[in-house]
Amino acid sequence: MRATPPRCVLTIAGSDSGGGAGVQADARTIHALGGFAGMAITAITAQNTRGVTAWRPVAPALIAQQIEAVMSDLPVAAIKTGLLPGAAAVRTIARTLARFPRLPLVVDPVMGATRGTRFLDTRGVQALARGLLPRATLVTPNWPEAEALADRRLRSLAEAEAAAVGLMEKFGCAVLLKGGHAPRENVVRDCLVTTDGRVRWLTSRRIVTRNTHGTGCVLSAAIATRLAHGDEMESAVETARAFLQSSLRENRRTPWGGAGPAFSGW
Ligand code: PXL
């Protein structure tokens, strides 16, 4: 018996048929960290560890109806967004979430798949910047996504840090710029800028697996779950990074690799 019920977390994200990313990775992560996952599916992808073979967006009105169904019933304590399939979907989601201004919102600004498929075009990125990021508690761009949001190339850690600070000032939310896509070295350097202006570099050893798609999904879902439990931003990010690293290490033993927690008991 638990003394307290699990905290509900709503993930607004795409479905990955291979289970590596999207709502499938989010749900495993949320459950592993003591949460309960509600899910609003934004797109359906046909994919496996080798890549995306087809995908279709879910109509914005149906995305909004899923969000409303969850929010009108479950006691949601934090929200995360992942794959958003275009400007219209972003605008509808921003409008729907405006009714819940106090809930922590983690935005993973997914623009494409690790292996190339593009999900969000330039208009979608603009809609994200106008509608959703000003409402976010935290945005978690990888290096290329930060370049798109800041509208400039990032060629050094100093430029990355300046861009992360600039995004925090522009949108008024915390920024976690993830270094997994940054110039290759055997450490991963993430830059966290909180809304008090504090900058912290978080480093960890790079963990190589056969297939690391879904790392961003796991990280943002883990942060949202920790925020749902009442953690401060810095501590939520540290716990989520440690969780992702242990999941990656664990998944080196599966034949297919992968980012999220494999399954309980593995
Ligand atoms: O990792 C980005 C991502 C998010 N969500 C879904 C995806 C992917 C990448 O493939 O398929 C559903």
Residues 3-52 have pLDDT tens digits of: 678 899 999 999 999 999 999 999 999 999 999 999 999 999 999 988 89
Evaluate whether 244 touches 219 at the Cβ level (below 8 Å).
Answer: yes
Q: Which of 11, 92, 215, 225 is catalytic?
A: 215
How many Å lie between the centroid of ligand 1 and the Cα of residue 196? 31
Q: Which two tokens stand for residue 194?
A: 């909180």
Is 124 a residue of the active site?
no
- Would you place residue 210 in the very low, low, confident or very high pLDDT band (cuts 50, 70, 90)? confident
Q: Which of 83, 140, 178, 219 most suits a substitution to test ligand 1, by most atoms within 8 Å of the C-beta?
A: 83
Residue 264, pLDDT > 60, answer no
Q: Which of 82, 131, 214, 257 is catalytic?
A: 214
- Give the list of residues 6+ apart from residue 89 with CB closer than 8 angstroms, or none: 42, 57, 58, 60, 63, 124
Query: Which 3 state secondary structure label does DSSP give 14?
Result: strand
How many Å lie between the centroid of ligand 1 and the Cα of residue 54? 12
Is 191 a residue of the active site?
no
- Would you place residue 119 in the very low, low, confident or very high pLDDT band (cuts 50, 70, 90)? very high
Q: Which of 217, 225, 257, 260 is catalytic?
A: 217
Evaluate whether 225 touches 10 at the Cβ level (below 8 Å).
Answer: no
In-domain check, residue 266: no
What CATH number is associated with residue 115? 3.40.1190.20
- Would you place residue 209 in the very low, low, confident or very high pLDDT band (cuts 50, 70, 90)? confident
- Pocket residues: Cβ below 6 A from ligand 1: 13-16, 21-22, 45, 47, 52, 82-83, 110, 113, 213-214, 216-217
Task: Please tell me the residue having the least CA distance from ligand 1 atom 2.
Answer: 113
How many Å lie between the centroid of ligand 1 and the Cα of residue 3? 35
Is 4 a residue of the active site?
no
In-domain check, residue 258: no
How many Å lie between the centroid of ligand 1 and the Cα of residue 211? 13
Is 42 a residue of the active site?
no
Is 178 a residue of the active site?
yes
Q: What is the pTM of this model?
A: 0.95
- The ligand 1 atom at the shortest distance from the C-alpha of residue 14 is 12
Q: Average pLDDT over the chain, rounded to whole?
A: 92
Could you tell me the residue range of the domain that residue 21 belongs to? Answer: 7-251
Is 216 a residue of the active site?
yes
Pairing status of strand 138-139 against strand 105-107 = parallel
Task: Please tell me the residue having the least CA distance from ligand 1 atom 1.
Answer: 214
- Would you place residue 207 in the very low, low, confident or very high pLDDT band (cuts 50, 70, 90)? confident
Task: Please tell me the residue having the least CA distance from ligand 1 atom 10.
Answer: 113
- Give the list of residues 6+ apart from residue 217 with CB closer than 8 angstroms, or none: 13, 21, 22, 25, 26, 29, 82, 108, 259, 260
In-domain check, residue 49: yes
In-domain check, residue 262: no
How many Å lie between the centroid of ligand 1 and the Cα of residue 2? 33
| pLDDT at residue 95, as a whole number | 98
- How many C-beta neighbours within 10 Å does residue 224 have? 34
Which comes out higher in pLDDT, residue 253 or 104?
104
Number of domains comprising the chain: 1
In-domain check, residue 11: yes
In-domain check, residue 128: yes
| pLDDT at residue 251, as a whole number | 81
